[in-house]
Structure 1
Amino acid sequence: MMQINPMISHLPSTASINKKQPGIENFNKTNNFGDYLKNAIQDVNKLQIQSDKATSMFAEGKKIDLHDVMIAGQKASISMQAALEIRNKAVEAYQEVMRMQV
């Protein structure tokens, strides 16, 4: 008959697993939803700015490939669409909560 205890003793503890994942221990202390939202909006803005710069460089005849301009534009477009869908879902969830009877 095989003993279970020797097998379990070789498994990592939950404390060591949490230490391997960055940010897990500091999640509740430093980051909140507002910070994540702010960072996400800043990321979308950065992609929009990169797309604008690439388009301007291409229009001015500077050395940039057309496919790089198109990729930057698509990244910006997709990130904006995702942000809008997330906003729509958040508004929909808020409206659903407000319709709940207490």
Structure 2
Amino acid sequence: MAITPITLSVANTQTMDETNRLKVAATPFEAQQSFASTLKDAIASVNNQQIQSDAMTQKLINGEDVDLHEVMITAQKAGVTLNATLEVRNKAIEAYQEIMRMSI
């Protein structure tokens, strides 16, 4: 049985570290735009999950050829993603309120 050297994975890690060090720090505007686009993508993903769940439920109601377990799985996925999004929102609001309570 051949033993592969560990140096391969170490070399890849070192290359990635060097690449990250060469990256120029983002300006506040770029960071804000990046955060905004990430947030929009996450919300769009949650919305897509909800739309898929509604479509599957509607197909089931109309009597189309849809398995009940697929409808339930889609609905649960949509529910879990929505609940996770609400929890992130709640934590962000708590953090904002805590920052506002700080004395300067």
TM range (shorter): 0.7 to 0.9
Partner of 2:60: 58
Partner of 2:91: 89
Partner of 2:4: none
Letter of the 1:17 partner, please give it.
Answer: M
Q: Which has the higher helix share?
A: 2
1:52/1:13 CA distance change after superposition, 3 Å: closer
Q: Secondary structure at the match of 2:11?
A: coil
Partner of 1:16: 15
Q: TM-score under structure 2 normalisation?
A: 0.74
1:26/1:77 CA distance change after superposition, 3 Å: farther
Q: How many aligned residue pairs are there? A: 91
Structure 1 residue runs of 4 or more that deviate by more than 6 Å after TM superposition: none
Question: Where in structure 2 are there 5+ consecutive unaligned residues?
Answer: 1-6
How far, CA to CA, are the matches of 1:52 and 1:100 in structure 2? 43
> What is the root-mean-square deviation of aligned Cα atoms in Å?
3.1
How far, CA to CA, are the matches of 1:74 and 1:27 in structure 2? 40
How far, CA to CA, are the matches of 1:11 and 1:49 in structure 2? 44
Partner of 2:81: 79
Question: Where in structure 1 are there 5+ consecutive unaligned residues?
Answer: 1-7
Letter of the 1:12 partner, please give it.
Answer: A
